[in-house]
A = this chain, B = another copy of it.
């Protein structure tokens, strides 16, 4: 909705012939960096770390330095990016020793409360937990829990937990890349459980799924309509579905939903992991069912480590991100080129009016693009 409005606004403001009223520019973005971190960063402003300082700090588990390094990853400045890549490269050998868990669910499923309860359970068992997010939408507050710390009161002050909001809005590919790089640094800093949260309405689930070992879908019981918001195909990614809010009068409904989902999952083909997805109920607010979920994750890890799927999938993911980045960049190079941007609407119209086949239009645009690259040496 707001996205459309923005587009309209841009369109109008870019139109020099537009002499009408100025369109309201709306409220500003919430800060993309935790104010506490920003404060700390400011204090350290004059201290100029070398790459080795960063790496040592991260390996020592220094949360301040970890945060600053992630800020470098998130920066759009070229020199920051360069330093960030060197830090990542040096941290890579120390990364990988964690269980990476993706969490998704529609707004209202109780993700924030769940992460609070789940996170406290993990740190209560002696674990060290980092919570990251992928949320490329510009309407952060609508879905992502990480903007809403009030619901994660305990976890946000837990010294064994580290919470980092999603990188600022940008293309999904860019946001996902930054989150995956931050994950590497968190692992090098000794966090052994990584949660990557996303809001269950976009393309971001696929991105999260491609960087985690285990994918957890949070649902609530209802008359079937709770499914509306979830993108097709997400249920098939889940290694575990938990029906949250199984408390009070809701318990029976939640148990019924559990059986329904279990039956539905039986109809799906088996995952290459050899793991049969589980359906469990829980109440994040009453902190019940959380240990069963954690045990299921541990069970999954030992199962897939035994059959070598765990390592194999990690390797596939590393390759996937190399190829995915190449493909994204190839597309970006094309679609961001001004001459292509100028021509696309005309070709699209011709295709829609059956004046040109989709394929001829594509080939003509490609021809123009490569000619353009060659002409500029």
Indicate whether A365 sits within 8 Å of B267 (C-beta atoms), given known contacts A319-B351, A358-B318.
no
Cβ–Cβ < 8 Å partners of A358 in chain B: 180, 318-322, 325
- Docked Cα-Cα span, A348 to B326, in Å, equals 13
Give the contact-size bracket for chain A: 35 or more
Cβ–Cβ < 8 Å partners of A267 in chain B: 224, 227, 235, 260-261, 264
**Closest Cβ–Cβ distance, residue A353 to chain B (whole Å):** 9
- Docked Cα-Cα span, A347 to B127, in Å, equals 34
Cβ–Cβ < 8 Å partners of A375 in chain B: 377
A373 close to B (CB within 8 Å): yes
Q: In the complex, which residues 86-125 of chain A have their Cβ closer than 8 Å to any Cβ of chain B?
A: 88-89, 92-93, 95-96
- Docked Cα-Cα span, A181 to B114, in Å, equals 51
Choose from B89, B236, B266, B319 the contact partner of A352 (Cβ within 8 Å).
B319
Select from chain B the residue with minimum beta-carbon distance to A326.
Answer: B362
**Closest Cβ–Cβ distance, residue A375 to chain B (whole Å):** 8
Contact with B along A36-48 (1 / 0, CB 8 A): 0000000000000
Q: Select the stretch in A21-29, A151-159, A282-290, A327-335 that faces chain B.
A: A327-335
Contact with B along A293-320 (1 / 0, CB 8 A): 0000000000000000000000100111
A256 close to B (CB within 8 Å): no
Contact with B along A118-144 (1 / 0, CB 8 A): 000000000000000000000000000
- Please determine whether A325 and B359 come into contact, CB atoms closer than 8 angstroms: yes
A370 close to B (CB within 8 Å): yes
Select from chain B the residue with minimum beta-carbon distance to A375.
Answer: B377
- Please determine whether B88 and A322 come into contact, CB atoms closer than 8 angstroms: no
Q: In the complex, which residues 319-377 of chain A have their Cβ closer than 8 Å to any Cβ of chain B?
A: 319-323, 325-327, 329-331, 333-334, 347-348, 351-352, 354-363, 365-366, 370, 373-377
- Docked Cα-Cα span, A260 to B262, in Å, equals 12
Cβ–Cβ < 8 Å partners of A356 in chain B: 89, 92
- Docked Cα-Cα span, A330 to B180, in Å, equals 25
A250 close to B (CB within 8 Å): no
Select from chain B the residue with minimum beta-carbon distance to A347.
Answer: B322
Cβ–Cβ < 8 Å partners of A85 in chain B: 357, 359-360
Select from chain B the residue with minimum beta-carbon distance to A228.
Answer: B269
Cβ–Cβ < 8 Å partners of A258 in chain B: none
Q: In the complex, which residues 251-294 of chain A have their Cβ closer than 8 Å to any Cβ of chain B?
A: 260-261, 263-264, 266-270
- Please determine whether B334 and A231 come into contact, CB atoms closer than 8 angstroms: no
- Please determine whether B354 and A88 come into contact, CB atoms closer than 8 angstroms: no
- Please determine whether A181 and B373 come into contact, CB atoms closer than 8 angstroms: no
Cβ–Cβ < 8 Å partners of A320 in chain B: 358
- Please determine whether B269 and A227 come into contact, CB atoms closer than 8 angstroms: yes
Cβ–Cβ < 8 Å partners of A365 in chain B: 326
**Closest Cβ–Cβ distance, residue A227 to chain B (whole Å):** 5
Cβ–Cβ < 8 Å partners of A164 in chain B: none
- Docked Cα-Cα span, A363 to B96, in Å, equals 22
Cβ–Cβ < 8 Å partners of A323 in chain B: 362
- Please determine whether A357 and B181 come into contact, CB atoms closer than 8 angstroms: yes
Contact with B along A168-202 (1 / 0, CB 8 A): 00000000010011001000000000000000000
